[in-house]
Structure 1
Amino acid sequence: MEIARTKCSLGYGKPPWIFKGRALYQLHLVKSEIARAFIPKEFRLVEAFGYTLGGFFLASYEDSPAGVFDELVVIAGIVWNPPTSCAWAARVLVNSGDACDHGRKDVGLPSQVAKFSKKITATPKQRKSKFNGFLDTIGFGTASSSMKDCIDVLVTETNGPSETDICNIKLTTSVPGVKFDEWKGPAIRMSLPSFSGRTEYNPNLLKYSCSIECRRQHQPLILNLTHFD
C-alpha cells in the first residue's frame, strides 16, 4: 500500500503545525456497519462484537496557523495498520475558510465550513440529602442550592446559501465561572496516528500523527450530544 506524505501549505508553512487552545475528546462505540460506509475498503476495521471505537474531538483554538477558529472532528472508527492502528475521520467541520482549505488539500481531510453557535448559561442546581428529604415531607426541609454552567454548542454546516444543523453538544459543569488555568491537572502527552485522503481534493492516502500535550481538568463534566440526521 503506497502512502503519500502531507504537503507543505504556503499559508501554514512547513510541518509540524502547532495549535493551541481547549478541547474535548470523547470516545464511544460505533456500529461496524455504519463505520465501514466512511472507511476505504482496502482497510480492515478494528472491531469486536459488531462495534469499533469512534468518537469526536471538539476544539476551540486560540492560536494556530489559521488564527482563531473552532473544529469538530467525527471519528468513524479505528482501522488496522500493522503493527498498530489508526483513526479515520468521517467528518471535519471548521469555522475558518483557511483551515478548511488546508484540511482538504494538504491533510486529505473531509473538511467543511460550519458555524459554531455557543451559549453559556448559569442555572441553579438543587442538592438534597436523605435527611433533608425526610424533613421536606414534614415541612421543615432546607434544600441547599448552588449554580452550574451549561455550555451549549450548535454546529451548523454551511454550503453556499444552504445551512444544515449537524449536532448540538451540551456540557454541564458543577463549577460555574471557572477559569481553565485554575483547574490544571497532571500533564498528559499522547500521539494519535491517523489515516486520511481518498477525497476529491486529495486522492492520495496520507498517514500522519497528532501529538497532543494537555492538562486534564479536574472539573467534572456532563455531556449530552444530539445528532441531527
Structure 2
Amino acid sequence: MEKTVKAGSPGVPRHVAIIMDGNNRWAKKRLLPGVAGHKAGVDAVRAVIEVCAEEGVEVLTLFAFSSENWDRPADEVGALMELFLSALRREAKRLNANGISLRIIGDRSRFHPELQSAMREAEALTAGNDRFVLQVAANYGGQWDIAQAAQQLAHQVQAGHLRPEDITPRLLQGHLATGDQPLPDLCIRTGGEHRISNFLLWQLAYSELYFSDLFWPDFKHDAMRKALADYATRQRRFGKTSEQVAAEARAQC
C-alpha cells in the first residue's frame, strides 16, 4: 500500500471513524450464521484500511464492539471474542509490515485475560509505526468515555493538583480515549441505519456524517472512495456562515 495523496491535503479527512453495521443482516440474507457476517467483515476492514492509507487519511477508528453488545446472545458474543482474538493475532503482523500503528480503545477489564494479552502484544508490536493509526473501539461507549475522563479529572481535583474552575472542554477532551488524536472529520455508518449508537459522542460534535445502505461486508474499496469523494464536496463551517468560510478560504490562497 502506498500513499497517493499527502496527509492533510485539502478535501482529505485526517481522521475517519466508522460504525461497521450490517454483519448479521448480511449473513441472514445469505442464510448463514451471524458469525459468518463478522468474518466476512474482516475483508472490508482490510479494504478500508488500504484506501484510507492510500488517500492520505492519518487516523481510522473502527467501532468493533460496543459496551451494549454484551447483551447479545451468549453464543454470538463468544464467537465474536474468538474472532477478535484470531484477527488480532493474524492481522498484527500485516499491520506492522505496512507501517500501521494499532491502538485499542475502550474498557478492557471485561475481556478474557488471553484477549487482553493479545491486545497488548499487538499494540506493542506496532507501537513504533507512524505511517497510519488504526484505532479499534472495543467494549467502548461514548458515555463511558466521557465519564472516565471526568473521573480522571475528579481524582486530580481530589488530590489537590487541579482546581474545578480550571477544567475546560479542551482539558476534558485530552483525557478521552482518543485524546491525543485529531477529532474525526468524517463519521461513516454502514447498514442503512441513521444514528451514531453511543460512538465517540464528544468527538463527533462537528464531524461530517455519511450513511451507506451497504452492509459492512460489502463496504469495500469503491464504497470507501465514494465516501471520501462525498466528504471532499462538504463545506465544514464549525458554527460559521458559509460566507465566512468562503472568505477565510480566499484569504488563505
TM-score (norm: length of structure 1): 0.26
Structure holding more helix per residue:
2
Larger Rg: 1
Which structure has more relative contact order (CA 8 Å, sep 6+)? It is 2
In the superposition, the TM-score normalised over structure 2's length comes to 0.25
**Which structure dedicates a bigger proportion of its chain to strand?**
1
